[in-house]
Amino acid sequence: MRLDPKHKISRKGLTVWRLYGIFEMLGILAVACVVSYLTIRNDWPQWIHAIGITLTLLSLIFSVIIFPKVRWERWRYEVREQEIEVKHGLFIVKRTIIPMVRVQHVDTTQGPILKKYDLSNIYISTAATIHTIPALAMNEADELRARISDLARVAEEDV
């Protein structure tokens, strides 16, 4: 068995994902409300309300409570001298190795919610793929970005 990568992502990341889940739920709730309103107005069958309520509840259970938790528990990453390894996935656990010499550039980005929690996403680009490490503490992300770009020496004759 390969050992798991060492680091987990910040605990605040879980909060942020829960927040995203809540937004998603609110979106569904809003649609459900509109449909319910139309149902009452146009005398559509009553079970339409039930569908709306069920979907909202499912979204509450899954995208707010369960999925963020599992995702957060699963997420591991490790930046080593020679490579970056990440492991993540809800249903299918993916484990990816990106050699340092393949890294072309590293970006960090931060939306308003992440900013509030002092987190940011880090994007690692190779010539063919882009990999993300989400919701890292700001200083950690900056440090990581600096470290990766230090370690990454692209051998250009290979591309």
Partner 1 sequence: MSNPTITYKKLPFATVAISALSILKTFLIPIIVVFFINFGKFTLNFNSPNFWSTIFTAGIWGVIIIFTLLAGVIKWWTFFYWFEDGELRVKYGLFVKKKRYISFERIQTLNYHEGIFHRIFGLVKVQVETAGSTDGKPEVEFTALTREAADQIEIEMRKAKAKPVTNEETSIEEDTVTEPVPEIVTEAMYKMSLKDLFVLASTSGGIGIIISGLLALLSQASDVIPYEKIYGELAAIAKYGVLIILLTIFVLFILGWVASLILTFLKYYDFKIVIQEEKMIITRGLIEKKRLTIPLNRVQAIKIVENPFRQMFGYATVHLESAGSNNDNNKESVVMFPLIKMHAIEQHITHLFPDYEWQQNYVPAPKKALPYYYRIDFFYIVPIIAVASYFLYPWGLLTLLLIPFTMGLGVWQHRTAAYCINDKQLTLRYRGISRVTFFVQKHRIQSLSSRQSYFQKKNDVMGIHLSVMSGASGAKASIRALDQADVEHILEWYDSEKIK
List residues near partner 1 by CB under 8 A: 1-2, 82-83, 85, 89, 91-99, 101-102, 126-129, 131, 155-159
Q: Considering beta carbons, is residue 42 or 155 the nearer one to partner 1?
A: 155
- Least CB distance from residue 42 to partner 1, whole Å? 25
Q: Considering beta carbons, is residue 84 or 137 the nearer one to partner 1?
A: 84
Nearest in space to 139 (alpha carbons), one of 129, 149, 131, 147: 147
Task: Round to whole Å and give the CA distance between 150 and 47.
Answer: 60
- Least CB distance from residue 143 to partner 1, whole Å? 22
- Least CB distance from residue 45 to partner 1, whole Å? 20
Residue 9 exposed, middle or buried by CB count within 10 Å (0-12, 13-18, 19+): buried
Q: Considering beta carbons, is residue 25 or 124 the nearer one to partner 1?
A: 124
Indicate the DSSP class of residue 126: -
Among left, alpha and beta (phi > 0; psi -120 to 50; other), residue 110 is beta
- Least CB distance from residue 1 to partner 1, whole Å? 7
Structure tokens at 4: 């798991």
Q: Considering beta carbons, is residue 60 or 151 the nearer one to partner 1?
A: 151
Task: Find residue 86's DSSP bridge partners.
Answer: 77, 96
- Least CB distance from residue 85 to partner 1, whole Å? 7
Task: Round to whole Å and give the CA distance between 135 and 122.
Answer: 8
Q: Considering beta carbons, is residue 41 or 155 the nearer one to partner 1?
A: 155
